[in-house]
Amino acid sequence: MKHRLTAVAILIFVSMMSVAQIVSIDKRRTKDPNKGFQGDVNLGLNFIHTNTDMLQISSRFKLQYNDNDNTYLFSSDIGYSRVDNESNVNNGGFMFKYNYWVPDKIIIAEAFSQYSYNRVKSLKHRYILGGGPRFNIADKDKFKLFLVAYTIYLNELFENDNYKRRKSLVKFSSMFSMDWQMSENAKFSQTTYFEPDYSDPADFRIWSETRLNFKISNPFSFSLFVRLDYDNLVPPDVEPLFYTINNSFTLKF
């Protein structure tokens, strides 16, 4: 029974950290930015002792500054989990992003830099420097839709005992994002990134996040969260698809 409880705790923590590791600045940027500094910090430390010892560490940080036409954002996510002497979660990311809000236009100019690692995927490091336009196709109270086209410089290293692959190149990345208030009681949001390497068709990544919130009655509501992270070219002993599915029912009284 203790082994089962430990396994359940690990799975819950991995799922939570998978969500936290999403490198989506748009979800972290303040929806209604005010001038000046804004930010938040979230730190977690858990220690569980059963037949094994489990250590869990998590850290999330966001600092944002806004003025009339500019937004500066720095954010980080770090997650670590160890059972006895074996680490099963060890990943993180750091990111800086700049937005220039073109007055009275549907285009926002963006530039960003990013560093990330994921020991479970044998990703030693991934450095990204890029930028491009964001097209605000729709920006209404009940429906928002935008497209992003980035040009990026990528430097990454996958490495373990039996595999090593390093890439350094310029490539393109695109993103689609939508928020839809379907009714007073239902909201749907979806974001998808697609990052191909046109010089190597076998190397592409797709990341997708979907949320559905549905209010069944005044005290009762349902939420669904689905996250997919697919990397078509990974080391032989690494799964190409990582996914998280969270369902929750809430009763308020």
Structure tokens at 226: 């689905």
3-state class (DSSP) for residue 81: strand
Where does residue 41 fall: left (phi above 0), alpha (psi -120 to 50 degrees), or beta otherwise? Answer: beta
3-state class (DSSP) for residue 5: helix
Kindly list the domain boundaries of the chain, sorted by start residue: 2-251
Residue 199 has pLDDT above 60, yes or no: yes
Tell me, what's the pLDDT at 20? 36
pLDDT tens digits for range 65-107: 988 788 899 999 888 888 887 776 778 899 999 988 877 668 8
Percent of the chain whose pLDDT exceeds 90 = 33
Contact present, 78 and 62 (Cβ < 8 Å): no
Q: pLDDT tier at 1 (50, 70, 90 boundaries)?
A: very low
Closest CA to 87 of 59, 56, 42: 56
Q: How many CA atoms lie within 13 A of 59 on its CB side?
A: 11
Tell me, what's the pLDDT at 21? 37
Mean pLDDT of the chain: 82
Residue 133 has pLDDT above 80, yes or no: yes
Structure tokens at 174: 């695109």
Residue 30 has pLDDT above 90, yes or no: no
Tell me, what's the pLDDT at 32? 52
pLDDT (average), residues 141-165: 90
Tell me, what's the pLDDT at 34? 67
Lowest mean pLDDT among 10-24, 59-73, 170-184, 239-253: 10-24
**d(C-alpha 246, C-alpha 226), whole Å:** 7
Structure tokens at 197: 């390497």
pLDDT (average), residues 159-163: 87
Higher pLDDT, 58 or 6: 58
Residue 210 has pLDDT above 90, yes or no: yes
Q: Give me the amino acid identity at 122.
A: S
Tell me: domain 2-251, CATH 2.40.160.20, correct?
Answer: yes
Tell me, what's the pLDDT at 139? 81
Tell me, what's the pLDDT at 22? 37
pTM of the model: 0.74
